[in-house]
Amino acid sequence: MRIPTSPSRHVTPVHLGLRSFLLLAAICAHARAQTDIISADREAIAADQSYLGTLADMIDRLPTALANRLPAFNSEGSVHAYSSPHLGDLFHSGYVRVPVGLRAKLTEHLAGNVELQSYFAHGMESGPAHGVSQLAFGAKCERLLPWPGDTGLAVGFNYATPLGHPPAGFSDGYRRFQPYVATTHMLVPKWGLLGYASFGGNFLQRTDLPSAFGRNQLHANSLALTMGVTREWKTLQLSLTTRFASTEFASDEGRQNFSVRPEVAIPFKLSRHSRTHFLLTLDGRVLCGPEGTMVNKGGGVRIMMRVDHAVAAEDYR
């Protein structure tokens, strides 16, 4: 299937990715140079930043696509590893997908992420017993804005490409370059109600794999606006995310879709001091698009481990 409009022959997602990385590096270099200038502002509004202590945990418990974009302000040197098996594949496919990812805070302002999506056969399958179907990586520069208070801003990109020849349904056959700007803001500090938003593009490049778009999935370059809220309680976290995407301004195809996704995340640990914890998620999604309205519900288990460099050094001593 041909995409109606895509970047020109000489401007591929790879070129866009390189240019965005250079721009991101320049932004982060400027941010580092300005650290001393804004330190006084940070001290002045320190009383309004108490939520930063729990912000990283709240962001981690959101869906992975959001957690990779939103400013979380982890401490420099912290590393977060995760895996989220697609348990629903056990009922719909002869393979089960097992993404394994890593998020790291490289400097005070720069964070990176990488994810490999592996798959394993279960039952009697004539194909390969296991493999890797996708590589995704990205980077973002995040800053705490002095005004308005309790507001974070991130600018970055993500890039994903299929690998090998994965089983049917595990890839739509396209590479994706996704630049974005994202923000968080504590809407009601008293309640711990966090708002978040992201605006960005999704630029496609065809591979030699068969084109396999899902129902209501946009078939061309698109722009998307995502907005949501989340709140944490002692034993669970609730979030509600809305997303509107359109190909109107990024291609010659005028199609849109809109989704609403509520989610409940219940974290638990095997021991009080364990750095590895599990996240049980229950979610639903209503998706309206060119092929009608879809209502889905699901759940899963995410295995997460976060190591803070400073904490690890203290434990070692």
User: Residue 124's pLDDT is what?
Assistant: 61
**Res. 44: pLDDT tops 50:** no
pLDDT of residue 190: 87
Neighbour-count burial of 95, counting CB atoms closer than 10 A to its CB (0-12 exposed, 13-18 middle, 19+ buried): buried
Neighbours of 39 (CB within 10 A): 10
| Band (311; pLDDT cuts 50, 70, 90) | very low
Whether the per-residue pLDDT at 217 is higher than 50: the answer is: yes
Grade residue 114 by pLDDT with cuts at 50, 70 and 90. Answer: very high
Contact 13, 205 (CB under 8 A): yes
* Pair of tokens at residue 304: 């997460």
Domain residue spans of the chain: 13-316
Amino acid 147: pLDDT: 74
CA dist., res. 227 & res. 244, Å (int): 9
CATH architecture of the domain 13-316 equals Beta Barrel (2.40)
For the cut 80, the answer to whether the pLDDT of residue 243 exceeds it is yes
Considering only CA atoms, give the Rg of the chain. Answer: 20
Taking 70 as the threshold, does the pLDDT of residue 188 lie above it?
yes
| Percent of the chain residues topping a pLDDT of 90 | 51
Residue appearing with tokens 């990205």: 138
Task: Report residue 30's pLDDT band, with 50, 70 and 90 as the boundaries.
Answer: low
Among 82-96, 179-193, 257-271, 292-306, which is the least confidently predicted range? Answer: 82-96
- Mean pLDDT computed over every residue of the chain: 82
